[in-house]
């Protein structure tokens, strides 16, 4: 199939200079835009949480012994919540904070063992006496 790239149309740049109001200092404008974005995302998160809760309650009621009209009503609640969640995801504004997620964070430190080889199997080139004397600072006295 065809890949849908439409979600990339909603990228929101936090430091877009073409969006700066002429009467407001640039730093203040960026902070204001960031604050508005954070507030909007919090409101969206609350709405998603509420819709998810409403769907769960309606699904729970579907399993109970209720009338056909009540089942239709609960299914309508579920369908409406699903449609709203899909619409919110499709129209979601992407920005530096939500465009990607860290899946795994780790730091690898390569320790050299006594034989001069690293724990990953690689080894350093053998050092010569001249290299050792250079490291001590004797190399300058030899050349003069």
- Residue pLDDT, tens place only, 93-102: 888 777 887 8
> What does the pLDDT look like over 44-96, one tens digit per residue?
999 999 999 999 999 998 888 888 899 899 999 999 999 999 999 888 888 87
The pLDDT-based confidence of 126 (bands split at 50, 70, 90) is low
- List the end-to-end C-alpha distance of the chain, in Å, as a whole number: 73
Contact 120, 109 (CB under 8 A): no
Residues 6+ away with beta carbon under 8 Å from 93 = 10, 11, 12, 37, 40
Question: What's the whole-model pTM score?
Answer: 0.58
């Amino acid at each position: 199939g065809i890949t849908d790239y439409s979600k990339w149309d909603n990228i929101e740049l936090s430091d877009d200079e073409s969006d700066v109001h002429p009467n407001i200092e640039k730093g203040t404008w960026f902070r204001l835009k960031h604050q508005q974005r954070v507030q909007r995302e919090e409101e969206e998160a609350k709405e998603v949480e509420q819709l998810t809760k409403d769907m769960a309650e309606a699904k729970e009621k579907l399993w109970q012994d209720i009338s056909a009209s009540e089942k239709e009503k609960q299914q309508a609640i579920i369908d409406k919540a699903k449609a709203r969640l899909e619409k919110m995801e499709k129209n979601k504004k992407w920005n530096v904070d939500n465009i990607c997620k860290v899946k795994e964070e780790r730091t690898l430190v390569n320790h050299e063992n006594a034989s001069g080889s690293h724990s990953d199997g690689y080894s350093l080139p053998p050092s010569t006496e001249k290299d050792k004397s250079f490291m001590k600072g004797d190399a300058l006295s030899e050349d003069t």
